[in-house]
Amino acid sequence: MGPDSALSVPDPTTVFDLVPAGPPTATTDLYLKTSTVFTSFATGLDADDKAMVYATQRPGAFGGLAEMSGIPAWRTIPSWYVIGTGDQIIPPDVQRAMAKRAGSKVTEFDEGHLGLMTDPTTTTRVIEQAAKASVR
C-alpha cells in the first residue's frame, strides 16, 4: 500500500470479498464484506439501511489500495473536513492528521464513517460554509 493509504489491515480479505476469488491481481474487484458493513462501515444506520448500503456498493479495484491519487486539490484550494469521531473505518486521529496536513477547516461530529447519511444536517452545514467561503 502507498504511504497515504488509510487501510491498515494486514489481510484485506478480513474486510473485503474478492471477485474473482483467489489470489488478487490489480484488477480484482473488492466488495465490503457483510460483516464490515454491518459492524463498522455503516454504524448509525438501521438494519434496513445497512442492507441497502451492502447491496448497492460499487466495487473498488484491489490495485487501488496502493495507487497514489496524484496532486491533491488541497495544495491549491481551501478545504473542509468533517471528522466522524465514531468512525471505525478511518480512525479519527488519522483523519485529524490528514485534515491538518491539508490545512482544512475541521468540523467534528459524533458519527461513524457514513456521517453524511446519519447526520446530513451537519454535512450540509459544512458544505454551505465551504460554498459561501468560495464566493468571497
Kindly state whether residues 61 and 79 are assigned to the same domain: no
Give the residue ranges of DSSP H helices in 1-136.
34-36, 47-56, 92-102, 115-118, 120-135
Kindly state whether residues 61 and 77 are assigned to the same domain: no
Residue 99 predicted with pLDDT over 80:
yes
Instruction: Work out the pLDDT band at 8, boundaries 50, 70, 90.
Output: low
pLDDT in tens, 22-78: 888 999 999 999 999 999 999 999 999 999 999 999 999 999 888 888 999 999 999
Kindly state whether residues 38 and 85 are assigned to the same domain: no
User: Whole domain around residue 60: which residue ranges?
Assistant: 12-65
Return the number of other C-beta atoms located less than 10 Å from residue 105's C-beta.
15
pTM of the model: 0.83
